[in-house]
């Protein structure tokens, strides 16, 4: 697996994923402090300070060699509308996880998330030469599970009491994956969705 942690900008027709930086703080806080966005996440972001800590944790994860975080930019407006990242990067097994994804409510159910996933999957199965891409979500997050199915990921199962959230809830995590041999079908499906 080539250097999975090299910062890279991924650009499509609707969205640009650029390396996350603390300079994105104000823009992310402007679109990302809605409590509904964080209701089912392990560590909710409620304040500008929480958002700064969220960004710093992502940057620290990158420095430790664990993740590659992005700011999600809507190309039409040029505005930052969310964040996503590669994590759980395991070069010896040629796998990564796509996650930590959130998008401001105004941009949900638009081409933004679909194209962001397309760009990340292309990078994972192309330059990173992955055999497997993983995704996971809280078992209570039905909307996220539906989104993972819509992009063509296969549900693999549920890890019970997988995480303890900030509120103390024992979270069950539902895992999904896309394999290298499934990628052509998944890519075609994502392109068809973007053509609608």
CATH number at residue 53: 3.40.630.30
How much of the chain, in percent, has pLDDT values that exceed 90? 87
Using a cut of 0.85, tell me whether the model's pTM lies above it: yes
At 1 the pLDDT is 64
Please provide the distance, in angstroms rounded to a whole number, between the alpha carbons at the two ends of the chain: 34
For 134, the domain range is 10-195
Show Cβ contacts of residue 20 under 8 Å, excluding neighbours closer than 6 positions.
55, 58, 59, 69, 70, 71, 83, 85
Question: Is residue 162 situated within a structural domain?
Answer: yes
pLDDT at 5: 83
User: Order of strands, edge to edge, in the sheet holding 132-138?
Assistant: 10-11, 15-19, 67-74, 80-90, 95-103, 132-138, 170-179, 154-164
Tens digit of pLDDT for each residue in 151-173?
999 999 999 999 998 888 999 99
pLDDT for res 75: 97
Is 2 a member of any domain? no
Contacts of 161 (CB under 8 A, 6+ apart): 170, 171, 172
Task: Using only the alpha carbons of the chain, give its radius of gyration.
Answer: 16
**Does residue 4 form part of some domain?**
no
Spatial contact of 85 and 67, defined as CB atoms under 8 Å apart = yes
Residue 53 covered by a domain: yes
For residue 3, tell me if it sits in a domain: no
Rounded to whole angstroms, the Cα distance separating 167 from 165 reads 5
Mean pLDDT of 59-74: 96
Torsion sign, CA atoms 89, 1, 16, 56: positive
Q: What's the chain's length in residues?
A: 196
For residues 106 and 31, is the Cβ–Cβ distance under 8 A? yes
Question: Phi, psi (5° rounding) for residue 151?
Answer: -80, -5
DSSP type of residue 79? -
- Contacts (Cβ under 8 Å, ≥6 apart) of 49: none
Assigned domain for 5 exists: no
Residue 146 lies in a domain: yes
Count how many domains the chain has.
1
pLDDT value for 125: 98
pLDDT at residue 42 is higher than 90: no
Mean pLDDT for 46-59 is 97
pLDDT of 2 reads 66
Cβ neighbors of 158 (< 8 A, separation 6 or more) are 139, 172, 173, 174, 175
Is residue 102 predicted with pLDDT exceeding 70? yes
Structure-model confidence comparison of residues 43 and 180, the more confident one? 180
In a domain, 64, yes or no: yes
């Amino acid at each position: 697996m080539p250097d999975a942690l090299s910062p890279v900008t991924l650009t499509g027709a609707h969205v640009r994923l650029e390396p996350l930086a603390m300079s994105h703080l104000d823009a992310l806080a402007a679109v990302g402090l809605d409590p509904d966005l964080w209701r089912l996440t392990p560590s909710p972001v409620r304040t500008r300070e929480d958002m700064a800590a969220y960004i710093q944790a992502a940057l620290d994860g990158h420095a430790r060699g664990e993740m590659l975080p992005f700011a999600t930019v809507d190309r039409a407006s040029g505005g930052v509308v969310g964040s996503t990242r590669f994590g759980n990067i395991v070069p010896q097994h040629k796998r990564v996880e796509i996650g930590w994804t959130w998008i401001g409510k105004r941009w949900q159910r638009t081409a933004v998330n679909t194209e962001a996933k397309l760009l990340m999957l292309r990078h994972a199965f192309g330059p990173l030469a992955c055999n497997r891409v993983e995704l996971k979500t809280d078992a209570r997050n039905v909307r996220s599970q539906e989104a993972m199915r819509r992009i063509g990921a296969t549900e693999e199962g549920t890890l019970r009491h997988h995480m303890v959230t900030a509120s103390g809830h024992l979270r069950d995590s539902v895992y999904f994956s896309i394999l290298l041999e499934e990628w052509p079908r998944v890519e075609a499906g994502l392109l068809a969705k973007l053509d609608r």
